[in-house]
Amino acid sequence: MSQGARDHCFPSWRPAAVLLLLIGSEALFPWSSQSSLFERDPWSLEEAQRILDEIEIEVSLQQEQERLRRLSGDAFEEPSRGLSPKPWFQEMSERYGAPLQQHPQRYGLRLGRRLEAQALHENNTVPIRFHLNFDTLYEDKVQANPFTKDRYCFQEGAWFRVGYPEDPKPVGAGPDNCGDRASSYPTGNKWCICVANDVITEQMRSFAIEATTEAMKDMPTFIQVLPVEGTLKFRSWEGSFPAMWQKTRQTGVACDPDCQKGLHVVVPDSLCSEGLTNTDAVLSVSMPPPVPGVGGAGTFCSADQRGRPLHLIFQWHRRVSENQFSEFSTQELVRHWRGLVLHEAIHGLGFGSSLWRNSYHAGGERRQLVKQLEVTDQDGTKDFIYHFMRYTRTYEVAKDYFACEEDADWQGLPLMSWPVSGRDTHHETRILRDDVMSYGNGLEAVSAITLAALEDIGHYFANYSNAECRSEPKMELRSKI
């Protein structure tokens, strides 16, 4: 590989500050006081209803904005793997304002108030170790769980829940009141009928397991973490948002309840009673009835006492067609879907979440990782878009890549502003088309810039030597910035 090609893979610049990366914010957010950090009362039924209404209004506005933009002729180039909107749980939990810190763990380093003396570096971190949970892909396990029952489709013509309907499950063949499922996804609280494309077939389940398993083998080559000491274990309790779970009729104690109630995944009781050895995080995979245009969605629903994500969720929406199964080998399909799996897993690690907006120094001062700055697009349209700011790793790695030598000429790397359903949670496609965290139809590379964005969260140590190459010409992209 030529030096010119290598420059597209990983930065020549590696700040010494990475070796002094602060571990997190436990000093500011001790686990025992999490409930006092909420900006909105998690015990208030009225507040829970307001949040539900806000989310419904925002979804309607986003759909209308995107409809009007399509009608105007300003079409958006949809990525081949599909869109990746925020899951409902992330929209809800971010409105409450408190960082997730439900499950304290043990680590080799003493994590206390002297965080300024702690650091993440290659000698005290290990390649991240995942446990993959596919229980939500099996009908018997889904139907035996009160929080996941009738959420997924295993037979064409069966009924499934959208939202939180109060009326009982219908009997008979319908019809339902869910509209044209090929062009839109039903909203609100209702029962809908499973169509053929909703069904989790044995072939699709086996492929999802194989594709996820193969893609996730790459993740430890990119990211290292402070290892969990002993067993990774979750708590059984009511959950972080008691009023919301009451409002949505999901009461009761459960193992890792926010994940079961908020993202409807099956969590084995053994994760709370026995725990997992040699594990730093869990990735649970589900296959909800597909939303048209969406490839998948990813987030996390549980974190440790410092806010480091412990339970990641990958909602796999887009199905592999029968023609694709016939035309391509399993190995070819696994390679093709690698980008989707890694994209959503990286979201699960915290990419695009409130972790960027709620980061703190060891002394308790807020770290400004991202800031909204006014920009003017090529058509003259003005907008306020989040940028990675000076002194972040993302700022410096991107500055180095685009050869912006003067800070005065570089206001930081902008995040994506359109479409609105993925705003502020992805790289700007026109700048980083080949990056796995953009909406481009390029190489889907896990780039040094994406690794830097994960490091900026404060929980990860990146292996830049394994960053993957992009093919975009630097100077062409620099002119777009």
At 13 the pLDDT is 53
Structure tokens belonging to residue 337: 């879907």
Residue at 331 is within a domain = yes
Q: Are residues 252 and 371 in the same domain?
A: no
Please enumerate in sequence order all residues whose Cβ is within 8 A of that of 228, keeping only pairs 6 or more positions apart, or say none.
Answer: 105, 106, 107, 279, 280
Tell me whether strands 130-133 and 281-286 are parallel, antiparallel or unpaired.
Answer: parallel
- In a shared domain, residues 126 and 259: yes
Position 115 in a domain? yes
Q: Per the domain annotation, does 193 fall within a domain?
A: no
pLDDT for 124? 92
Using DSSP bridges, classify how beta strands 309-316 and 281-286 pair: parallel, antiparallel or unpaired: parallel
Query: Measured between alpha carbons, how far is 199 from 151 in angstroms, rounded to an integer?
Result: 11
Residues 208 and 247 in one domain: yes
Decide if 219 contacts 451 (C-beta within 8 A).
no
For residue 173, being part of any structural domain is answered with no
For position 44, what pLDDT does the model report?
A: 97
Q: Given 356, 381, 408, which residue is the final one in a domain?
A: 356
In a domain, 297, yes or no: yes
Which candidate, 52, 37, 28, places its Cα nearest to that of 100?
A: 37
- The reply to whether 192 falls in a domain is no
CATH number (domain holding residue 83): 3.10.170.20
* Cα-based distances in Å from 11 to 357, 394, 396, 446: 25, 11, 9, 13
Q: Please check whether residues 345 and 387 belong to one and the same domain.
A: no
Same domain for 261 and 283? yes
Dist CA 148 CA 205 (whole Å): 17
pLDDT, position 430: 86
Domain boundary among 321, 356, 391: 356
Instruction: Answer for the pair 249, 114: CB distance below 8 angstroms, yes or no.
Output: no
The model's pTM: 0.90
356 with 465: CB under 8 angstroms? no
Check whether the bond before 175 is cis (ω within 30° of 0).
yes
How many domains are there within the chain?
2
Query: Is residue 423 domain-shared with residue 324, that is, in the same domain?
Result: no
Q: Which of 111, 126, 184, 192 is nearest to 153 (CA)?
A: 192
Are residues 324 and 236 both part of a single domain? yes
Place of tokens 């390679």: 335
Q: Are residues 376 and 323 in the same domain?
A: no
339 and 467 fall within a common domain: no
Beta bridge partners of 237: 254
Q: Which pLDDT score, from 0 to 100, does residue 5 have?
A: 36
**Domain containing 238: what range?**
22-135+202-356
Within a domain: 194? no
Q: Does residue 171 belong to any structural domain of this protein?
A: no
Are 242 and 307 part of one and the same domain? yes
- Residue 461 and residue 393 in one domain: yes
In the listed set 356, 388, 405, which residue is the last one of a domain according to the structure? Answer: 356
> What pLDDT sits at residue 99?
80
- Domain co-membership, 309 together with 446: no
Query: Which CATH number characterizes residue 430's domain?
Result: 3.90.132.10
Mean pLDDT in each 10-residue stretch from start to end of the chain (481 residues)?
A: 44 47 40 63 96 89 70 63 87 90 85 51 94 98 98 97 95 91 87 96 98 98 96 97 97 98 98 98 97 93 95 97 96 96 97 82 74 85 89 92 83 83 84 90 90 94 91 52 52
Tokens of 39: 């900006």
